[in-house]
Structures are given as C-alpha cells and as structure tokens.
C-alpha cells in the first residue's frame, strides 16, 4: 500500500512508539490523525508533523465513534490504523503484604489494552467498509502486543493477560476482515526505549539492554516504526504476530 495521500490514525500517538510511528507515516506522505488522552502533548505532536489531534478514550465507544468521524471529516476515510495506546501496570496477584491484586486495576488494564484495541479495530473497519474503497487493499491495521504475552514476568499478570488477548485477537480479526480487503497484523515488542524506561537511571537502562541477545541494547521507537512501514508495504503480511525483540526471552523477573 502506498502511503502518499492516505489517511492514517495512530492511537497513543502523543508519545513513545505511537509518536514515532505517526512521524514515520507523516514523513511517508500520509495524513495522520493522532488519537490520545494527553491533549497538550498530542496537540504539540500533531503540529510538529502537520497532522491533526483528537482527544480520545479508546475504551469508550462514543469517544471512538466521534473521533473517527472527526478525523474522516479532516482527512478522508482512514486507510491505516496503528494501535499503540496502552498501559503497563505492575502488581503481583498476591502482594508481599498478603493483599490481593486490585480487581479494578486488572480490569482497567484489560479495558485499555485489549478492549480499547478491539474498539478501535471495529470502528475503523466499519467506517472504511462504508467508504467503499476499491482496489486489492482497502486498509491495514497494526496492533501492539508485547513479548509479555508469551514471557510475562512476575508482577505482569494484568499486562500479560491483556497483551495475550491482543495476540489471540489477531488471526480472527484478520479472517473477519479479509472479505473487506483489510489486513490485521500485530507487533510484539521487547524492551523498548519508551517514556516509561526513559525515566530510569542510565545504569538501569543499560542493564536492561544487556538482557537482549543481539543487538544488546534497548529497542528504538524508530525500529518499531520501521516494522510498521514494512507491514503496510507488504500485502502478504496478514493475521500474524511478529516479535520485535532482539531474540530476548524474558526471565521470571
């Protein structure tokens, strides 16, 4: 799929992997809409790339419907969706003090990472199908899971569950949407230099990087964006989850 002139939506596009992906898409000539809850950062990010910002709660159906309608009014029907919005809480099923994991925290993680991804997929696909785009490909959806879906660590029960759900969603979503010529692919990143990790001391960042077999460092958001670009460009990539992790397999802690 050629990106020049196409409309694209990136959730979580105000920062981290989403922001770098929005920059890549804009640089390739796409008209980019950033969906995020962080209005100040999102507006600034959109201005930098010549895109548009829409404040969106990915867990809310009405918020999604309104945002896709507004983005379509600005840029035309979105042909690309990249789901990067997510949360990464840490908490053991039973804490060291004997207290159980907060059910509200667990539920919120599932709502944002899994239900939010599904919400964006369904609203994006419905509008694209209604637009009646012609050609071999109508659109591409790229989701973000995590290696935690396979190698969830101690304290990652909620996060790993939510990302495992995204992995499990990938193939049936691709099969559901195949008749409409919409592809669905998921990326499962390893340890990447996102805002959360940037807050750690350099020594801690370096220590995490040495756990990666090769290259022995933290992943760069630009490397995630490069993979998104390759997925969009290759029409035979569909229904697959791609680990982007430098061959790491996470230890229990």
CB-CB contact of 10 with 33 (8 Å): yes
3-state secondary structure labels for all residues of 29-93: CCEEEEEECCHHHHHHHHHHHCCEEEECCCCCHHHHHHHHHHHHHHHCCEEEEEECCCCCCCECC
HSE, CB side, 13 Å, CA atoms: give it for residue 106. Answer: 14
Given the residues 106, 150, 159, 224, the one annotated as active site:
159
159 is catalytic: yes
Nearest 5°: phi and psi at 245? -145, 5
Separation in Å, CA 78 to CA 116, 123, 187, 225: 18, 11, 20, 18
Element (H, E) at 222: helix 221-233
Read off the DSSP letter of residue 94. B
Element (H, E) at 206: helix 202-209
CB-CB contact of 147 with 188 (8 Å): yes
Q: Which residue in 69, 64, 67, 23 sits closest to 46, CA to CA?
A: 23
Residues annotated as part of the active site: 159
């Amino acid at each position: 799929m050629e990106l020049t002139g196409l409309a694209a939506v990136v959730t979580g596009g105000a920062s981290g992997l989403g922001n770098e992906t929005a920059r890549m898409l804009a640089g390739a000539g796409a008209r980019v809409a950033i969906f995020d809850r962080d209005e100040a950062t999102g507006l600034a990010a959109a201005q930098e790339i010549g895109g548009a910002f829409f404040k969106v709660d990915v867990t809310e159906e009405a918020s999604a419907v309104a945002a896709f309608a507004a983005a379509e009014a600005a840029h035309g029907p979105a042909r690309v969706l990249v789901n990067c919005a997510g949360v990464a809480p840490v908490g053991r099923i039973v804490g060291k003090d004997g207290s159980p994991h907060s059910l509200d925290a667990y539920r919120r993680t599932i709502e944002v990472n899994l239900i939010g991804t599904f919400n964006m997929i369904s609203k994006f696909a419905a509008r694209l199908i209604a637009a009646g785009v012609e050609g071999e490909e109508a659109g591409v959806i790229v989701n973000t899971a995590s290696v935690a879906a396979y190698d969830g660590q101690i304290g990652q029960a909620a996060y790993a569950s939510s990302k495992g759900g995204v992995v499990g969603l990938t193939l049936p979503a691709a099969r559901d949407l195949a008749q409409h010529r919409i592809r669905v692919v998921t990326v499962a990143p390893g340890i990447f230099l996102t805002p959360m990790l940037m807050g750690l001391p350099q020594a801690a960042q370096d220590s995490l990087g040495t756990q990666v077999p090769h290259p022995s460092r933290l992943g760069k958001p630009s490397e995630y964006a490069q993979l998104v670009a390759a997925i969009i460009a290759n029409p035979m990539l569909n229904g697959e989850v791609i680990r982007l992790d430098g061959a790491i397999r996470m230890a229990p802690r």
